[in-house]
Amino acid sequence: MIEVSGLTKRYGQLMAVDNISFSIEKGDAFGFIGPNGAGKTTTIRMLATLLRPDAGTATINGYDIRYDHDQVRAAVGYMPDFFGVYEGMKAWEYLDFFASAYRVPAAKRPGLIRDVLELTDLTQKRDAYVEGLSRGMKQRLCLAKTIVHDPEVLLLDEPASGLDPRARIEIRELLKELCNMGKTILISSHILPELAPLCNKIGIIEQGKLIMVGSVDEISAQLEGGRQFRIKLRGRLEQAREFLLRRPDIAEVDIDDGALDALYRGEPDQEHQLLAALVREGFEVSSFSEQETDLESLYMRLTRGVVS
């Protein structure tokens, strides 16, 4: 549904998006993740035909983003990272305005508007003025206007930014519903764990480069392997860290929150040796447990150092 090949955008000397390629199948929910300034918005704006690439291109449902603007725009619902609301407009008028801009026939609009208000849980606010809505409601309204012309593809640039935890979960539920409706979704965020439950595929971008793409499992597998153990000690953390780092089966050790996080690359059934060695050395181990590969640490490991 989305085929990106060699997409590139420069701002002067700065390579904002540097020759990135990936593809998204119909029905995929693709999480586009990267820190501030990585190039997410620039990429999404190019896909939405609002910015011209310097090199490379992408097709959406077979249409080229460089040439087929009308077809691409009809196929795509784009939710920008910042959006304006118009003063003196009611929620339903706002949606009606966008629906007509997308050339939805007047006779079909009331029904559609009812549906998207329902879907975004804004039915109660149909006649409320847009500027009087809370931030979370505005965000949902913006999502409503993004889907008002029933596009097949949604390009959502940080739709949950600035929302409280409850509102973030509500947005996530809403996006799940859109996935279930068969939409193809590209959604950006700088928070990997937030996207993971929603997405079946993830791309990580940093400094304009796509450094990894695949399912969460594939991404874990692509990492050099190793299992993370969390070791709690009574004191002498720094000494324990140095002690562990001298072992060939330990790749990395971080001290975090009064515990050691050790990346173990030894034999799968020999990790007890680690514990035994620590105890032998006189370290007072109060707990020793394997960490699930959690997404946050995965992300931190992936992007380590490249940012700075």
Ligand X SMILES: Nc1ncnc2c1ncn2[C@@H]1O[C@H](COP(=O)(O)OP(=O)(O)OP(=O)(O)O)[C@@H](O)[C@H]1O
Under rule CB under 5 A, which residues in 69-128 are in contact with Mg ion? 81
Cβ closest to Mg ion, residue 112 vs residue 185? 185
81 vs 121 by CB, closer to Mg ion? 81
Q: Does 189 bind Mg ion (CB under 5 A)?
A: no
Could you say whether residue 59 binds ligand X (CB under 6 A)? no
By C-alpha distance, which of 41, 44, 49 is closest to 67? 49
- Biggest alpha carbon distance in the chain? 79
Are 195 and 202 contacting, i.e. CB atoms less than 8 angstroms apart? yes
Q: Name which of 53 and 117 has its Cβ closer to ligand X.
A: 53
Sequence letter at residue 153: V
For the CB of residue 65, give the shortest distance to ligand X in the complex, in Å: 16
Query: Of residues 20-39, which lie at the interface with ligand X (CB under 6 A)?
Result: 34, 36-39
Residue 244 DSSP class: H
168-207 residues in contact with ligand X (CB under 6 A) are: 190
Supply the minimum distance, in Å, between the C-beta of residue 148 and ligand X: 24
If the CB atoms of residues 92 and 159 are measured against ligand X, the closer one turns out to be 159
Residues 10-69 that bind Mg ion (CB under 5 A): 40-41
What is d(CA 183, CA 269) in angstroms, rounded to the nearest whole number? Answer: 44
* C-alpha to C-alpha distances, 220 to 57, 124, 195, 241, 264, nearest whole angstrom: 29, 44, 15, 25, 15
**Least Å from the CB of residue 83 to ligand X:** 14
Residue 16: CB minimum distance to ligand X, A: 3
Query: Which one, 18 or 96, has the nearer CB to Mg ion?
Result: 18
Secondary structure letter of residue 90 according to DSSP? B
Please answer whether residues 128 and 138 qualify as being in contact, where contact means their C-beta atoms are separated by less than 8 angstroms.
no
Give the three-class secondary structure for 206.
strand
Residues that bind Mg ion (CB under 5 A): 40-41, 81
